[in-house]
Amino acid sequence: MSKTSEIYDQDLVLWTEEQGKLLREGKLDEADIENLAEEIESMGRTERARLCSHAQRLLEHLLKWFYLPERRFPSAYAAIVEERTMIEVVLGCSPSLGDRLPQIMSLAYSDARRLAAIEVSPLPDECPWTFEEAMTLSIEGI
């Protein structure tokens, strides 16, 4: 195991600082290429998971909003607005995730439906909204 690989396992922050320095200096032969590649790929997975998480929460709140109208409180409205905002932030930072929205929405709806079903049922088996609709549906009426 090389020194840089050992540092990777012991102190991730120190490792990232050292790897950044080596890359800026063009010392690729000294860089921990395998772990660098793994970390870069992990960043993409993290962003996908972040988008899926916000989509799941948005869909869960929308299900409750439309299927439990008696619980349309300002906090529910705020939660929908917040999740929409966070989705816009993630897509603004990683626009290529837009190509994966159908898959992400399908995964997110499955989890959202399961969680919302604790409080309300029956719920549709398939997501009743497209991504665009989920992001723009009017949620007035509180």
User: What sign results for the dihedral spanned by CA atoms 117, 86, 96, 25?
Assistant: negative
pLDDT band (50, 70, 90) for residue 3: confident
Whether residue 20 contacts residue 48, with contact meaning beta carbons closer than 8 Å, is answered with no
Q: What is the pLDDT of residues 95-122, one digit of tens each?
A: 999 999 999 999 999 999 999 999 998 9
State the pTM of this model. Answer: 0.84
Q: What is the pLDDT of residues 43-62, one digit of tens each?
A: 999 999 999 999 999 999 99
